[in-house]
Structure 1
Amino acid sequence: MTTLETGRIVGAGLDRVDAPLKVSGAAPYPNDFAVPGMVHAALVGSTVAAGRITAIDTTEALAAPGVLDVITHLNAPRLERGPMTLLGGSPPAPLRDDRVLHHGQHIGVVVAESAEQARHAASLVRVTYETSKAVLDVDDPRAEILDNPWGLDTERGDVTAGFARADVVVDERYTTPDNTNNPLGLMATLAHWQGDGLTVHDSTQWPHNVRTTLATVFQVPESGIRVLAPFVGGGFGAGLRVWSHVILTVLAARRVGRPVKLVLTRPEMFSSVGHRPNSVQRIRIGATRDGDLVAIEHHGMSSVAMEDDDYEPVSFGSAVAYDCPHVLTRDRQARLNIPCPGSMRAPAEGQGNFALESAIDEVAYAIGMDPLEFRLRNYAEEHPLLGLPWSSKALRECYTQGAERFGWARRTPGTGSMRDGRWLVGYGMAGVSYPFYQVPCQARASLRRDGSAYVRSAATDIGTGTYTVMTQLAAELLGLDVGRVRFDLGDSDMPYAPQAGGSGLTGALANAVHGACRRLVQEFLDVVAGDEASPLRGALLDDVTVTDGRVHRVGDVAAGESYGEILARHGLEELSADGRSTPPRSEELGMAVAGAFGAKFVEVRIDPELGLLRVARVVSAIDGGRILNEKTAGSQIIGGTVGGISQALFEETATDAGTGRIANATFGDYLMPVNADVPDMEVIFCGGPDRATAVGTKGVGEVGLVGLAAAIGNAVHHATGRRLRSLPFTIDQLML
């Protein structure tokens, strides 16, 4: 059986199969669900950043109309912390004691008949504190400094010797601020206990993690918990961890004996569901006058909450980006009185690439070499740490094809040398990679007598197109029209799936669906193995292919029969098969399993008198392995590009230095790009299927954002001669 006949269905830019539900308003998001007897919860947040609660007066709140319960650390059971996950430890358990670790910490939850009553009563809870001076800055000498907890620091060669060989050394400091994920849909949880059984609707990117965590926290069997998330209103990483509001909703439902629904407010979204941690990075890069890199030293310092274990190795990308003999990368964290960080689109690389690719550009200018030529000269043909060939790498093609599409050859090398009337024009670029990530996954496929297929897995689709690309993949593997395939997800009762995040779900799930569909065709061959009436009698899987709902021998369409004919003749309504995928291992394959690569080219225009900065054009050239759907993959890169522009020019979560309060926790105050800020964007895909897996995808969810900040900053330097090393780029930095 052919494993994947690309060009018929897979790869085509099909419209999203879930689009009719979404545009008609019929797609059920967690906030849309309601059950009989449902009541509502609202959170009580700390108004200080550090200290202890000395008293909580809930008298007025309990007396308010409709209130059923007020839960604080004084009357809550002691809850266990959630388990270690693939992404690290769970956030600290809520309401364990009287300590306050950050402003906005959930110190209570109110349950009432209506959401309005719950919110009003929450405002009536009176809290007295004994405050401590909060630690809010990574440079605060009181901050506890943590070494790299995951062993991802790297060292090869001898950087001291390398820098001794360098003709040019760039040694600079780069900073990135906190960013907040801010999906449009407010995150919501609905919990309903039925005895020891629990059903939860949640805005999660990982239903199985919610199920496992709740089983641990509440000491109940996982088998009795069902988590549902068929549609999620965006996430950008905010739905990867099981946050305390989810646990408090489940606790409240158990306490009052009724279903409880909690919807976060927008300000609570800033302090409750993670954020991209800030970073302070120092990079030192040495090169010869001929343009050879001889040493890279990258140190990163990021923030982390007081009792959390979130970790992002911002410097790690520098260890594998270029062919350089002497490289050292180190990451540390500073514990601060801040809400727990978490993954935000392109975690670690979103921060680290800005520093690396800005510094690479600085070196190119210092030696007088074209920035593109400098990157090509130091191209890593093999994995620099493993010394193995890549399973695929089309970064060179991304550089050359992207440059041609962008018109890089029109760039004049001198800073300030390109103008269009009063506008200074700058061209900038950045090399991009995002590391391979994939974990085990399972799927189940069924074929019915009517010739339709049903495929499912407990994944989520946060707008990335998972429903669509898995429908396409299953249709091609089973030889069916797309309209004859239904793909379902978002239910923890379905086969196990990992999180939608890290650009790893499509690869893991696609390979599981691939395995399930191949095994399903094998099931049909097993049914007819001894059937004298079947032209497929005795056929092996490699002897057949599938087209138009029929299994037939390769090269002989007539020597076969339809799925329905086989099922009907043998008195079966359907056949099912399970598939699973396991991540490929570099040492077993003899090649380094590759993530996505890319090159970003940006044109900026700057008004030197007003300090106005406009991004005029962006070309993204991406190696994402096999592209399952050109339209949804292109949309991912476009969305990531907008996110990268936002990171570069707008986003900064501002924490008040005196109180630890997030000062811009609304869409009126937290800046993001609008349509007028988004330029013409082109996306081209380079390369082909990756050799490490059967389907050959590599994921494109994160790589679209990476590199935009550096490319914009590099373009600003080309336009003005001014080097910006701190995000976001603001007018005061550009006033000439």
Structure 2
Amino acid sequence: MTATKPDLGTWVGKGIDRVDGPHKVTGTAPYASDITLPGMVHAVVVTSTVGAGTVTKIDTSALLTLPGVRAVFTHENFPRLNPPPPVLFGEAPVAPMQDGRIVFHGQEVAVVVADTLQEATEAARLIEVTYAPEPVLLDPADGQLEPLALSPDTSRGDTEAGWAAADVRVGATYRTPENTNNPLGLMGCVAAWDGDHLEIHDSTQGTNALRTTLAVMFGVPESGVRVRVPYLGGGFGAGLNQWPYKLLAAGAARELGRPVKLMLTRPQMFKLVGHRPSSEHQVRIGADRDGTLTMIEHRATTLSSIDFPAVGLLTSGTPHLYHCPNVATVERTVRLNRRYPTSMRAPGEAEGNWAIETAMDELAHELGMDPLELRLRNLATDLDPATGKPWSSNAVIECCRVGAELFGWSRRDPRPSSMREGDLLIGWGMAATGFFAYMPMSQARVTVYADGTAAVRSAATDIGTGTYTIITQLAADLLGLHPQQVDFQLGDSDMPASAHSGGSGLATSLSNAVIDAVAHLQGALLDLVGDDSPLHGLGPDDVVCRDGALCRRDDPSVRALIAALLAGQGLVEASGDGRLRPPDAAAAGMVHAGPYGARFVEVAIDPMIGRLRVRRVVSVTDGGRILNQKLARSQILGATVGGIGQALFEDTLTDPGTGRVANGTFGDYLVAVNADVPDVEVVFIGEPDRYTPSGTKGIGEIGLVGVAAAIGNAVHHATGRRIRDLPITVDQLMM
């Protein structure tokens, strides 16, 4: 069933408060760390102190005599697991403690289980592990370049010919460091078995992917695994993969016949649940004297762990953002003795945009052209340059123009170091942005009850982005109810399957599944009408739900009370199941457009001490139909903070001799805090996207993309210094 474009607007778009807010602020929202089950014991992970080698001996004899200690698991006695299935981006999870091989510093080597967390922690400190160390490979020169599955090479035209024909050329290398996701909530789980049935309360961003992983690796049917995540303390991508700690907890619980709680510490969050890997970008761009691009070449390299590859996507946006006849991208990774890489908010796009948009600013400087004008001349808004097909929507040029007007860009003196306030150097920079469209499969069930209320159910998770609220608003509009009459239940793998919360794809995927479910619900209600009803013979697209009634779409006065329809058949409820369906736009040859944006930034720099302050940010985003203005603005604000962190602070340092994380605490790892964040003006433009009935685009990550480049470009405008390696630090700015 293909739903018609829904009538939205009574609640959709309104900035209502989070429906889950009261539970969070009153402490009644159950996170994984809050779960306590009868007979539960606590597990603590012991990690390796070498970066490569083999465990030769683990002495656990003294531990088992300590008060409260129930068991110590190592590679010698931990259950053998089945090979892991590929569940995310085609990559398989890592099976922990299946042998004594060590491939990175901080790898899981043992799990201590005791009656209390304190007893388990104390026992874990006493464990003695002996290793046969091997050379630790950390330098990219030590490994072999490999392609990345999600980042195939692309090519159109002849880049060498475009380079030769260019009047102006720029070419440089740009670098980004490792960043660590570090959501507010520590990740962990509580696992409990009842025979061959496993129930796990976890910090995952995808209940169904975790269910599949656990079922396959423990050899039970998926119906025998239930994953529950009603609340999640953030993720930024760290919750997308099925990390070893989940398997360790489930394995220990099965062996002991007791529920096991395993919560990671903050230092372990730096080691065991992924990070944004470092990257290097070699970029060449050529242009005619009038600024028309003649070629773009983007070669990127990122780092992977020995057993787990990086996501990549560093070059994914390069073929699509600008009209250019000659474009080539090449992306590779190197497997080294480094920790697990993973997705981190705007994976690949954040790093790739830093390189491309910095290079575009360099090109504008060489041309003597306004950086805004260079972009307006070349941005692609009508057709996707990579396919030649029309975009479903694309307002990136409007984003640039609106942002420039709000920022006052026309007052910018283009000469570096020309704008001053006393001893401060003032710089204005900008960047254009895009983000890929991602729309994985989701399902939903919508139920209406005789008392006039409704429920929506899906296995989706809400990582703090507002999924609870936006789906409640959407369902309220579709059913003609007040949001307080709608109960959205999520975070349970026993509910209709859903995509993970990541890739900025859930809002679009799930909203369209709900629209489809309501269409099926309307069909189910039509099956209940009598032959003498004025609604008899109508189809699901001919009716709408309004104020507890099923109404003709073109004449809402023709109606039947839902309660009466249910009562007439002896029912108390009716349901409709829906899923994301192939959009009509795809059949029409339209390219699914992701969100677009433009970032404008003002910085102030004290050249004597190298102090940099971001003083203003204007962030304009084409986000399609906005489901909740308040939550959407919050997403862009949070992403902007992340972009400031990427530009100025975040850098996970690895000891070059051992591979150990050198700054794995919040005391040492710097992030942007309140004092670092200026006034941020957030603006949404554009129309509902034509690709799906909901008209939405994912906006959870686009707000971060372009912030670092805009800051770096502003730094060049203020100082005349071109920074190509992140983060931008004091020593780079002192004059």
Question: What TM-score bracket applies, with the shorter chain setting the length?
Answer: over 0.9
Distance of aligned partners of 1:86 and 1:583 in 2 relative to their CA distance in 1, 3 Å threshold? farther
Contact kept? 2:519, 2:541, Cα under 8 Å: no
Whole-angstrom CA distance in 1 between matches of 2:339 and 2:645: 22
Contact kept? 1:190, 1:249, Cα under 8 Å: yes
Whole-angstrom CA distance in 2 between matches of 1:668 and 1:151: 35
Map of 2:574 onto structure 1: 575
Equivalent runs, 1:491-570 vs 2, <5 Å: 491-528=492-529, 530-532=530-532, 534-570=533-569
Distance of aligned partners of 1:641 and 1:583 in 2 relative to their CA distance in 1, 3 Å threshold? farther
User: Helix, strand or coil for the counterpart of 1:639?
Assistant: helix
Whole-angstrom CA distance in 1 between matches of 2:451 and 2:687: 36
Residue-by-residue CA offset, 1:471-518 (whole Å, 9 max, x unaligned): 000110111111111111000000000110000001110000000011
The amino acid of 2:205's aligned partner reads: Q
Contact kept? 1:82, 1:89, Cα under 8 Å: no
Whole-angstrom CA distance in 1 between matches of 2:313 and 2:584: 21
With normalisation by structure 1, the TM-score equals: 0.98
Deviation at 1:565, TM superposition (A): 2.2
Which residue, 78, 81, 84 being the options, matches 1:82?
A: 84
The amino acid of 2:135's aligned partner reads: K
Between 56-65 and 439-448, report the one with greater CA deviation: 56-65
Equivalent runs, 1:34-433 vs 2, <5 Å: 34-138=36-140, 141-150=141-150, 152-380=152-380, 381-433=382-434
Map of 1:474 onto structure 2: 475
Contact kept? 1:91, 1:340, Cα under 8 Å: no
Whole-angstrom CA distance in 1 between matches of 2:118 and 2:716: 51
The amino acid of 1:693's aligned partner reads: T
The amino acid of 1:189's aligned partner reads: C
Whole-angstrom CA distance in 1 between matches of 2:574 and 2:351: 48
Contact kept? 2:155, 2:328, Cα under 8 Å: yes
Deviation at 1:5, TM superposition (A): 2.2
Residue-by-residue CA offset, 1:421-450 (whole Å, 9 max, x unaligned): 221111100010000101111100100000
Deviation at 1:126, TM superposition (A): 0.6
Deviation at 1:208, TM superposition (A): 0.5
Unaligned runs of 5+ in 2: none
Whole-angstrom CA distance in 2 between matches of 1:558 and 1:101: 69
Contact kept? 1:281, 1:300, Cα under 8 Å: yes
Residue-by-residue CA offset, 1:567-593 (whole Å, 9 max, x unaligned): 123321100110010354976231111
Distance of aligned partners of 1:556 and 1:147 in 2 relative to their CA distance in 1, 3 Å threshold? closer
Whole-angstrom CA distance in 1 between matches of 2:4 and 2:99: 60
Distance of aligned partners of 1:204 and 1:329 in 2 relative to their CA distance in 1, 3 Å threshold? same
Map of 2:596 onto structure 1: 597
Whole-angstrom CA distance in 1 between matches of 2:443 and 2:617: 38
User: Helix, strand or coil for the counterpart of 2:317?
Assistant: helix
Contact kept? 1:648, 1:729, Cα under 8 Å: yes
Deviation at 1:552, TM superposition (A): 1.9
Q: Which runs of 4+ in 1 moved over 6 A?
A: none
Instruction: Check if 1:691 corresponds to 2:690.
Output: yes
Contact kept? 1:425, 1:719, Cα under 8 Å: yes
Distance of aligned partners of 1:37 and 1:357 in 2 relative to their CA distance in 1, 3 Å threshold? same
Map of 1:680 onto structure 2: 679
Whole-angstrom CA distance in 2 between matches of 1:379 and 1:174: 22
Distance of aligned partners of 1:295 and 1:555 in 2 relative to their CA distance in 1, 3 Å threshold? closer
Map of 1:440 onto structure 2: 441
Deviation at 1:310, TM superposition (A): 3.1
The amino acid of 1:34's aligned partner reads: T
Whole-angstrom CA distance in 1 between matches of 2:57 and 2:285: 54
Contact kept? 1:436, 1:594, Cα under 8 Å: yes
**Aligned Cα root-mean-square deviation (Å):** 1.3
Whole-angstrom CA distance in 1 between matches of 2:587 and 2:132: 57
Deviation at 1:2, TM superposition (A): 6.7
Whole-angstrom CA distance in 1 between matches of 2:542 and 2:139: 65
Contact kept? 1:480, 1:547, Cα under 8 Å: yes
User: Helix, strand or coil for the counterpart of 1:527?
Assistant: coil
User: Helix, strand or coil for the counterpart of 2:284?
Assistant: strand
Deviation at 1:96, TM superposition (A): 1.4
Equivalent runs, 1:1-40 vs 2, <5 Å: 3-40=5-42
The amino acid of 2:521's aligned partner reads: L
Deviation at 1:205, TM superposition (A): 0.2
The amino acid of 2:692's aligned partner reads: T
Whole-angstrom CA distance in 1 between matches of 2:584 and 2:439: 10
Residue-by-residue CA offset, 1:355-409 (whole Å, 9 max, x unaligned): 0000011001100110011001012131111100101001111011111111111
Question: What fraction of aligned residue pairs are identical, expressed as a percent?
Answer: 55
Deviation at 1:725, TM superposition (A): 0.5
The amino acid of 1:406's aligned partner reads: F
Whole-angstrom CA distance in 1 between matches of 2:281 and 2:619: 26
Equivalent runs, 1:639-654 vs 2, <5 Å: 639-654=638-653
Whole-angstrom CA distance in 1 between matches of 2:556 and 2:384: 45
Contact kept? 1:585, 1:593, Cα under 8 Å: no
Distance of aligned partners of 1:102 and 1:682 in 2 relative to their CA distance in 1, 3 Å threshold? same
Whole-angstrom CA distance in 2 between matches of 1:85 and 1:670: 31
Contact kept? 2:6, 2:478, Cα under 8 Å: yes
Contact kept? 2:643, 2:705, Cα under 8 Å: yes
Whole-angstrom CA distance in 1 between matches of 2:557 and 2:205: 45
Deviation at 1:132, TM superposition (A): 1.2
Whole-angstrom CA distance in 2 between matches of 1:191 and 1:630: 38
Contact kept? 1:3, 1:477, Cα under 8 Å: no
The amino acid of 1:491's aligned partner reads: D
User: Helix, strand or coil for the counterpart of 1:722?
Assistant: coil
User: Helix, strand or coil for the counterpart of 2:226?
Assistant: strand
User: Helix, strand or coil for the counterpart of 2:126?
Assistant: coil
Between 70-79 and 543-552, report the one with greater CA deviation: 543-552
Instruction: Check if 1:453 corresponds to 2:454.
Output: yes
Distance of aligned partners of 1:586 and 1:179 in 2 relative to their CA distance in 1, 3 Å threshold? farther
Deviation at 1:148, TM superposition (A): 3.1
Deviation at 1:97, TM superposition (A): 1.1
Whole-angstrom CA distance in 2 between matches of 1:696 and 1:537: 31
Contact kept? 1:91, 1:309, Cα under 8 Å: no
Contact kept? 1:478, 1:521, Cα under 8 Å: no
Contact kept? 2:176, 2:725, Cα under 8 Å: yes
Between 3-12 and 591-600, report the one with greater CA deviation: 3-12
Between 86-95 and 219-228, report the one with greater CA deviation: 86-95
Whole-angstrom CA distance in 2 between matches of 1:733 and 1:585: 52
With normalisation by structure 2, the TM-score equals: 0.98
Whole-angstrom CA distance in 2 between matches of 1:729 and 1:712: 9
Whole-angstrom CA distance in 2 between matches of 1:514 and 1:14: 20
Contact kept? 2:170, 2:285, Cα under 8 Å: yes
Whole-angstrom CA distance in 2 between matches of 1:422 and 1:511: 54
Contact kept? 2:361, 2:371, Cα under 8 Å: yes
Residue-by-residue CA offset, 1:295-347 (whole Å, 9 max, x unaligned): 11111010000011332121221111100111110001011111110000000
Deviation at 1:151, TM superposition (A): 5.5
Contact kept? 1:477, 1:518, Cα under 8 Å: no
Whole-angstrom CA distance in 1 between matches of 2:445 and 2:585: 27
Map of 2:617 onto structure 1: 618
Map of 2:729 onto structure 1: 730
